[in-house]
Amino acid sequence: MTQNSCSRKNSKLKDTHYNMGHKRRGWALVFDQHNFDNGYASTRQGSEHDRARLNQTLSAMDFQIEMHEDSTLAEIECTLKEMSARDHSDCDCFLLVFMSHGLEGKLAARDQIFDVSLLWHSFTPEVSPSLKGKPKIFVLQSCQGHGRQKGVWIETSRDEDDEKEIELVPSYQIPERADFLLALSTIPGFVSYRSIAIGSPFIQALCEELDKRGNDDMLTMMTSVIREVAINFNICNPQRPSDPCYKQLPSLISTLIKTLKFPKKVKCDDRRKRKGKDICEKYSKKKRKKL
């Protein structure tokens, strides 16, 4: 290896932030499974609130959103294949949201259950090379079982480690590759809640955090989302106040190797105002001269 190649390698190692300065933010692929064939799963009432909130939040973050509702497994496979084959070279990242019923390691299409790993296996470097080295974010709103988490009172003067009742290591199988982030609405073995009136606490908390602090580090924001749902969301029976309240605990799997932030995309008109000169026109003149 030559000295120059070593210098280039060392330069890349010093880059601690993902490059979010591409022309486009990237595609956001959203699946909302609301209805199911032959009644094999119940209608997910309230999911329209999550869909609307995601559309608002992701649009503000400059994502190009593609919504898919009530997709069959064949349609999901086709959509994933088509998306992974696109050229993502001028994109910062890729984001996928899947909202449905589920069990541990499984999700529900409109017509059948499938393995959750199908979602991210379509976006490994081998399958989608233009996403190599770019953050790939997966958000899953679904149950991972039938268990219900009870609340545990924490005394602020005590070590919180003493109060652990549940193993918090998610059991999803993910690729042994860098640059993946998987945000789960609950931990394995437990249900994930959804309100008919306002949607799911996880998606709503995620969107609120991205709206307020979208330029912060993604892992820091996700920790805030997990804390918000874990502490402030409760399912209680007002008719039976002596019964325990139930909780929900989102979880996170990350193989990100750099800091991920979402700075606002600067358009040409914004650059003009900020720098006091017509950058876009200057660029256009240079381009015309080359032609």
Residues in the chain: 291
Cα dihedral 203→62→213→252 (10° resolution): 50
Q: Is 30 helix (H, G, I), strand (E, B) or coil?
A: strand
Amino acid at 99: M
Known catalytic residues?
101, 143
Q: Are residues 33 and 114 in contact, defined by beta-carbon separation less than 8 angstroms?
A: no
* CA–centroid distance for 147 within its chain: 24
Cα dihedral 111→113→116→122 (10° resolution): -40
Q: Is the dihedral of CA 22, 23, 24, 25 positive or negative?
A: positive
In SS3 terms, 138-174 reads as EEEECCCCCECEECCCCCCCCCHHHHCCCCCCCCCCC
